[in-house]
């Protein structure tokens, strides 16, 4: 193992351990798990979708909502704690490069997000599987039995982990130029919201008959620089549709996340390169 890999491993493990000890992580994990499980008890509020889809959508929403809060708040908190405690100055004074500092912070936080995603996906998968068996036992025939694919849910959990990785990398990008924790959290949360609604925003000028070509072109080309987090919303097709997601869509989403994460981190390192710590 090279010296650079040793430093990355040490930074990532330290970040993961520090984040795991935070009460905020435990609070969000328990709240997210409770909300994901609560979908089974809120079926009375279902107004049209099948029961499994209602429960699944409820769990998918909880996974992304609380995962995004965790990715934004914890990433910014861990970053600024290093600056405020002057430990970043000590680290960077040693043979720790700035890109290693950012990569180590990201990898440690991304590992924590993986634990969070795995836990909520496991709870949601167990609930969906048990309910699918119960509904299948009362179905008049096999064709009326609900469909649930645990493997599809596992693929969605992986995509969700990549999506939260994009959110964490985006937060580090904001932290690279932000001067305060509150500013970084606010801007990162707004940026995550913009990324989630990017597809909706791009469709508005195209759907408006009187939309000018200049407006459509502006939205289209500026939107390409913004990550589209809606690309990862494949939970229902992957887990509940016998046909599955369209061919290549899941792979495209995975490649999209794998491309944006290093790009955002590289931009963050570049912006932070000459910053005084």
Element (H, E) at 112: helix 98-138
pLDDT tens-digit map of 3-19 = 788 888 888 998 888 88
| Mean pLDDT in residue range 67-82 | 93
Looking at the domain assignment, is residue 24 inside a domain?
yes
Angle, helices 198-207/181-196, rounded to nearest 10 degrees: 50
pLDDT tens-digit map of 182-230 = 999 999 999 999 888 876 655 555 545 555 666 566 656 666 678 888 8
Could you list the beta-strand ranges (E) of the chain: none
Looking at the domain assignment, is residue 219 inside a domain?
yes
* Higher-pLDDT residue of 165, 97: 165
Domain that holds residue 261: 3-272
Looking at the domain assignment, is residue 217 inside a domain?
yes
Residue 104, pLDDT above cutoff 70:
yes
Residue whose structure tokens are 């690279």: 176
Looking at the domain assignment, is residue 277 inside a domain?
no
**124 is written with which tokens?**
């949601």
pTM of the model: 0.88
- Report the domain count for the chain: 1
Looking at the domain assignment, is residue 264 inside a domain?
yes
Looking at the domain assignment, is residue 268 inside a domain?
yes
d(CA 93, CA 105): 17
d(CA 29, CA 68): 12
Looking at the domain assignment, is residue 74 inside a domain?
yes
pLDDT tens-digit map of 221-262 = 666 678 888 889 888 888 888 887 777 888 999 999 999 999
Output the DSSP codes for 198-254.
HHHHHHHHHH-TT--HHHHHHHHHHHTTS--GGGG--HHHHHH-TT-SPTTHHHHHH
């Amino acid at each position: 193992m090279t010296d650079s890999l040793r430093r990355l491993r040490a930074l990532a493990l330290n970040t993961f351990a520090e984040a795991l000890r935070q009460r905020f992580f435990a609070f969000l994990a328990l709240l997210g798990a409770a909300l994901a499980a609560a979908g089974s008890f809120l079926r009375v509020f279902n107004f049209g979708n099948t029961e499994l889809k209602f429960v699944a959508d409820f769990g998918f929403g909880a996974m992304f909502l609380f995962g995004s809060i965790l990715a934004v708040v914890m990433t910014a908190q861990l970053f600024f704690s290093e600056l405020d405690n002057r430990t970043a100055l000590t680290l960077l004074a040693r043979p720790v490069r700035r890109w290693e500092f950012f990569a180590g912070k990201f990898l440690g936080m991304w590992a924590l997000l993986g634990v969070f995603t795995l836990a909520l996906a496991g709870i949601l998968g167990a609930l969906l599987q048990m309910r699918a068996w119960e509904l299948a036992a009362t179905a008049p025939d096999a064709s009326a039995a609900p469909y649930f694919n645990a493997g599809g849910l596992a693929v969605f959990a992986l995509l969700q982990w990549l999506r939260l990785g994009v959110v964490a990398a985006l937060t580090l990008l904001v932290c690279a130029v932000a001067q305060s924790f509150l500013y970084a959290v606010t801007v990162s949360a707004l940026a995550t919201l913009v990324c989630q609604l990017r597809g909706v925003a791009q469709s508005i000028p195209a759907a408006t008959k009187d939309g000018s070509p200049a407006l459509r072109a502006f939205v289209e080309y500026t939107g390409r620089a913004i990550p589209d987090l809606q690309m990862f919303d494949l939970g229902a097709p992957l887990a509940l549709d016998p046909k599955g997601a369209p061919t290549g869509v899941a792979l495209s989403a995975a490649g999209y996340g794998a491309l944006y994460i290093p790009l955002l981190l590289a931009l963050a390192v570049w912006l932070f390169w000459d910053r005084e710590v």
